[in-house]
Amino acid sequence: MRNAPTILHLDMDAFYASVEQASKPSLRGKAVVVGGLGPRGVVATASYEARAFGVHSAMPMAQARRLAPNAAYLVPRFSLYRAVSEQVMTLLRELSPLVEPLSLDEAFVDLAASGAAEDAESARRTGLRLRADIRTVTGLTGSVGLAASKMLAKIASEQAKPDGLVLIEPGTERALLAPLPVRTLPGVGPATGDHLRRAGITTVEELAEAGEDELVRLLGKAHGQALYAMALARDERPVVAEREAKSVSVEDTYDVDIHDRLRIGLEVRRLADRCVRRLREAGLSGRTIVLKVRRYDFSTLTRSETLRGPTDDPAVVREAAERLLESVDTTGGVRLLGVGVSGLADYTQEDLFAQASSRGEPAPEEAVAEPVAVPREPVLPHWRAGQDVRHAEHGHGWVQGSGVGRVTVRFETPQSPPGRIRTFLVTDPALEPADPLPLVITAPEPPPAPDLSARP
């Protein structure tokens, strides 16, 4: 293991909820819960104010509402979260070329790769500077852990939460780990934790005292040896700068089971288009299309089809997903649908119509009559809590709630004081969806001073 605290672990504090609070002045200091808002939704992130009521990530949203009925419940805005995450990752890459993102709000950094942590004091200064830069650029807070290994750096950042910094001095690792519960170590989930507890092992110190042979007997060779090494504070895993994506996928869980086959087909097409958008945003293409269907009885089916070459063409992905749907019995209804693409590559099939024409489907040059459009009843706009909107008269705001034909909007921006609330008909033509506003407005750089030396 390294002899200096050269591994930095950054974990943004309650990231999604913090972004929402920064974006909406009226929610600052209030309980905020982000996630799926339907009866089957789950909590993605809860602000620290909501956690005080017992709300936590992965909790059913219905349970969260019972615990914190007065909290603000919002849908996620992933486009904004990704934009803020990229600002943070840019700051990390300025510290070192070795940055390993784990998610939008979490990453490891190897400071030794840039010489930014020659000793404990220089590592601490680097961590403090990073936290200050994150606050300046995004307006958010992050917790930093510094240690000689990835495992210890992550434990340190957990101890630093919220909005703090913890550095584990080399030589103190065993003493720090000893009293911690075994669930602190990576790889010890509820099942392994219960198994160890039944064997009388509840702390990391007891794990180390049990010895490698006993842990291998209890957990198997690979898991037992790995946990024994971690109990002794041994972790040689390197920071890996690039993680190759294996697949890109999207899925939706529905509040009410879908029975209508036409509706199911439309949902699959919509998911295919969303999946392709993510694929293109990542500059990737893929050759294997995957359909996921969770039926009314919670049975989950997956179907896949491999194309002749990689593609990022939405028509090709849609058609493949629809073909896969034909082989799935949805008679009893479905509660979840997903579309994914794997077998990724950084190039696309040159012949964009090769997939369709290879199955005897008409190529674009073969004239095909367009189906006659059947008039349908107008669909009312669907406004979701937390959604960005713009009103022709009142400007930018966000949806607080909607129902019985009306939508309530609070008009405010990240830089304004808490705004006023107004209610409109959901069909109000002056109200339209909007893009999120930046959390921090960066002042333009002043123009360069004139070069007076060039004058005669």
Which amino acids are annotated as binding site for Mg(2+), given as ranges? Answer: 11, 105
209 is catalytic: no
* Active-site entry in 106, 173, 319, 412: 106
Tokens of 95: 């510290």
Cis-peptide, bond into residue 25, ω within 30° of zero: no
Distance of CA 403 to the CA centre of its chain: 29
Which residues contribute to the annotated binding site? 11, 105
Count of Cβ atoms closer than 10 Å to residue 420 Cβ: 11
List active site positions. 106
